[in-house]
Amino acid sequence: MNKPRFTFWKLVLGGLLLAGAYALTLRFVRGLGASTNLSDAFPWGLWVGFKLFSVALAGGGFTLAAVVHIFNLKRYQPILRPIILTAFLGYSMFIISLIIDLGRPYRVWHPLVMWNDHSVMFEIAWCVMLYTTVLLLEFIPALFERLKWKRALSLVHGITIPVVIAGVILSTLHQSSLGSLYLIVPGKLYPLWYSPFEPVFFFLSAVCAGIAMVIFESWHSSKAFGKQLELPLLVGLGRVLAVALSVYVTVRILDMVHRGVFHLLVLPRTETYLFLLEAALLVTPMLLLFWTRVHQRLTGLYLCSVLTLLGVVTNRMNVAITGMEASSGTYYFPRWTEFAITLSLVASAFALFALAVKYLPVFPQVRESGMFRVAQPAPGVAKSRLRAPEFTDVRS
Amino acid sequence: MSKALLYDATLCIDCKRCEEACAEQNGLPYNETIAAEPQSEHKYTAVLNKNEKYMRRLCMNCQDPACASACPVAALRKTPEGPVIYEADRCMGCRYCMLACPFNVPKYEWGKLLPKVRKCTMCSNRVQKGLQTACAEVCPTGATRFGEREQLIAEAKQRIHANPGQYVNHIYGLDEVGGTSVLLLSSVPFEEFGYPGAMLDEAMPLLTFRVLSKVPDVVTLGGVLLGGIWWITSRRADVAAAEKAEKEGPGHGERGERDE
């Protein structure tokens, strides 16, 4: 391993965590008003944007679980576990940032007992809670394998299918509901983004982000751990991403046509520029991925996945911040504390991922093709797996 | 029957006694500095003055409030008497009500460590006792009047009809967002005082509930669909595995359709 680079990233991580811890202290000692740039005119800021996209980027969890377990495409199994882990970390960050953002964090459990079934937020609270449990159940076999708890392992394997089905349904519900949150602000969200089909857009773009995340992560795990999906599988995913992006982009264009908002694109406003940025980040990979020279190559696929992820992040930020600014009558730019806490959450997610990979069989070497059968006992020493060569296709 | 407030800006003299009475009623500080301030977390109503034209701002206490539908823990609630009340003990501080409110009414105690949402609750404790709101009681000119919503609407219509040139021909709050418990009359457009002009005539909660009401269907249909797909694909895999075992052949083909 490249030692100086390793130390550099450790330093970055340490710095971010320190800044985050300081910002967190300020937030809990001085309160939201003194430690953030939030106000009566702009009650939802960067943290809400972060929550929206952390869940979208975790969309790979339900997409790939459905592909592997429901559509039975077992050749994608090798990347499933790291994706489930990513999703689990994404949702954990969502919950942590929610707790930080809440005015009274110690009441975060209130939706459990105080119900309002007309509230989108209530539905999201329940779905996120249940789906995080689902993700835990989907990932826990890695821990049981490591501990060699065979009984617990076969128990969890026995409920795989119902758990995965519940996970897909819960994800469909709350991914779209994060868009539904904004249905109630027709007078506030800028018309380039406000649409009665916002829930559909949020769901479709979460699927796009999910697929892009699988490619992205496969590439990175190959760099870091010498493991990745075989190129044909990634090429297949690239094609699926091309189609998913096309569907998403088409639906958004149709919606804009029907609402007659294209004339807004000539106005020299911040909203226009950031909308065009978002559009460019999503349309470019869509077009490139149809080009054989791009989608047949790892670098091309990787580049397109990065563009897609950035596009979805930009979309969520635009909905949460850019699109809400004009109607609020104020100018909102996050305070450094908001950035520090957000970045340190991202950094901790990366660090936790690396830790989990080090100590748990996140990348199991070879799996049997049978769905319910327990994977081959994981090798005892984690390090030996890290040096292992690329995955071999289960059926070859 | 549901109670309401009718504020007629043409009768208002900007004496700000409603502001003072409101502060007293809600245990809030009031002085000359505060009198000049707009609505805030320590001032639930404000009389605005624009070129000697006046207008009150306060919670509209909507008939079907966006805030109450938005609140995940039902801390905000429309009472049958009219007021939209807030139970601080339930609130966890997500601030979705502030985002959802079309009139930007709910304010937050940003300066406090354990903040609450603050807004006019139409003196719900007084109204429940059969009293009128503090602001209506104290108003010396009758600019703010308290009564049955239906009667106040009839009266507002009659005032516009009797003095056609004096009013904008519109009762603000009659149809806005499905109707509100605060009704406004004015001689100048309401937009000039920050009231949103182009409002939906249907209740805001419908916008989200139309989607939310489909949740049970998505769960049921999704379960059947995904279960069905799994049943087919897993059966196919079982058959393929059995055939492979029978032939003891090299075993490829049935899954190789995508591996080019």
Binary contact (B90, A181; C-beta < 8 A) = no
pLDDT value of position A10: 86
When pLDDT is cut at 50, 70 and 90, the band that residue B105 belongs to is very high
Contact indicator for B108, B95 with CB cutoff of 8 Å: yes
Chain A residue closest to B213 (CA)? A118
Residue of B nearest to A164 (CA): B226
Q: What distance lies between CA B52 and its chain's CA centroid? A: 30
Separation of alpha carbons B71 and B91, rounded Å: 8
Write the residue in A114, A172, A177 that is nearest to B222 by C-beta.
Answer: A172
Question: Is A118 in contact with B208 (Cβ distance < 8 A)?
Answer: yes
Residue B187: CB atoms within 10 Å:
14
Q: Tokens standing for A1?
A: 């391993």
* Chain A neighbors of B102, CB-CB under 8 A: 185, 187-188
Q: What is the pLDDT of residue A380?
A: 39
Q: Do B91 and A104 touch (CB under 8 A)?
A: yes
Q: Which residue of B has its CA nearest to A179?
A: B208
Candidates A102, A116, A234, A319: best to mutate against B (most CBs of B within 10 A) is A116
Question: Minimal Cα–Cα distance from B243 to chain A, Å?
Answer: 15
Which residues on A lie below 8 Å from B252 (Cβ)? 395
pLDDT of residue B113: 95
Confidence at residue A346, expressed as pLDDT on a 0 to 100 scale: 94
Closest partner CB to B92 (pick from A34, A104, A181): A104
pLDDT for B254: 46
What ipTM did this prediction achieve? Answer: 0.89
Predicted pLDDT at B249: 59
Could you tell me the two tokens for A349? 């997610």
Chain B: residue whose CA lies nearest to A126: B72
Domains of chain B: which residue ranges?
3-211, 214-247
What Å distances lie between residue B245 and A63, B239, B241, CA to CA? 31, 10, 6
Q: Does B239 touch chain A (CB under 8 A)?
A: no
Return d(Cα A43, Cα B97) in angstroms, integer.
10
Q: What is the pLDDT of residues B193-225, one digit of tens each?
A: 999 987 878 899 999 999 999 999 999 999 999
CB atoms within 10 A of CB B48: 16
> What pLDDT score does A363 carry?
78
Sequence-distant (≥ 6) Cβ neighbours of residue A390 within 8 angstroms: A222, A226, A227, A228, A230
Fold of B3-211: Alpha-Beta Plaits (3.30.70)
B69, B112, B259: residue with CB nearest A232: B259
Asked if the C-beta of B245 comes within 8 angstroms of chain A's C-beta atoms, the answer is no
Closest CB from A34, A39, A110 relative to B92 = A110
Q: Which residues contact A42 (CB under 8 A, 6 or more apart)?
A: A324, A325, A328, A330, A332
Alpha carbon distance B176, A187 (integer Å): 12
Mutate to test the interface with A, among B77, B119, B191, B212 (most CBs of A within 10 A): B212
- pLDDT for position A358: 85
Supply the pLDDT for residue A228: 62
Look-up: residue for tokens 């977390």?
Answer: B41
A110, closest residue in chain B (CA to CA) = B73
Q: Are B98 and B19 in contact (CB under 8 A)?
A: no
Q: In whole angstroms, give the CA distance from residue A308 to residue A213.
A: 9
pLDDT digit string, tens, across residues A172-182: 999 999 999 99
What integer pLDDT is reported at residue A6 of this predicted model? 62
What is the per-residue pLDDT across A255-287, written as a single tens digit (0 to 9) for each?
A: 999 999 999 999 999 999 999 999 999 999 999
Sorted by sequence, the CB contacts under 8 Å of residue B225 that are 6+ apart come out as none
The verdict on B147 touching A (C-beta cutoff 8 Å) is: no
pLDDT tens digit sequence for A192-205: 999 999 999 999 99
Could you tell me the domains of chain A? Answer: 43-361 (1.20.1630.10)
pLDDT recorded at residue A101 = 97
Which residue type, as a one-letter code, is found at position A131? Y
- Would you state the structure tokens that stand for residue A12, as one six-digit string? 């970055």
Residue B161 CB partners (closer than 8 Å, separation 6+):
none
Neighboring chain A residues of B258 at a CB cutoff of 8 Å: 75, 232, 236
pLDDT of residue A366: 38
Residue A22 has pLDDT above 60, yes or no: yes
B129 CB within 8 Å of a chain A CB: no
Interface check B199 vs A, CB under 8 A: yes
Tell me if chain A has a CB within 8 Å of the CB of B233.
Answer: yes
Q: Is A116's CB within 8 Å of B222's CB? A: no
B69, B226, B259 ranked by CB distance to A70: nearest: B226
Task: Measure CB to CB from residue B212 to each of A39, A108, A118 and give the nearest one.
Answer: A118
Mean pLDDT to the nearest integer, B117-135? 96
- Suggest the residue from B62, B91, B95 to mutate for an interface test with chain A (most A CBs closer than 10 A): B95
Mean pLDDT of chain B: 92
Q: Determine whether the interchain pair B102/A187 forms a contact, defined as Cβ–Cβ distance below 8 Å.
A: yes
Give the E-state strand segments of chain A in sequence order.
none
Residue B138 has pLDDT above 80, yes or no: yes
Smallest CA–CA distance from B224 into chain A, residue: A165
Shortest Cα distance, chain A CAs vs residue B69, angstroms: 5
Give the gap in angstroms from C-alpha A279 to the nearest C-alpha of chain B.
26
User: Which chain B residues are within 8 Å of A75, Cβ to Cβ?
Assistant: 255, 258-259
The answer to whether A161 contacts B230, with C-beta atoms less than 8 Å apart, is: yes
Distance CA A387, CA A385 (A): 5
Enter the DSSP assignment of A261: -
User: φ and ψ at B187, to 5 degrees?
Assistant: -95, -10
Within 8 A of B201 by CB-CB distance, chain A residues are: none
Select from A348, A346, A354 the least CA-distant residue to A51.
A346
pLDDT digits (tens, 9 = 90+) for A329-386: 899 999 999 999 999 999 999 899 989 988 998 876 534 333 333 333 344 333 333 3
Query: Using CA atoms in the order B135, B138, B140, B145, what is the torsion angle rounded to 10 degrees?
Result: 40
Of A71, A114, A161, nearest to B73 by CB-CB distance is A114
- Judged against a pLDDT cut of 80, whether residue A226 lies above it is answered with no
Among B72, B99, B104, beta carbon nearest to A111: B72
Q: Tokens 């940003």 sit at which residue?
A: B110
Rounded to an integer, the average pLDDT of B163-168 is 91
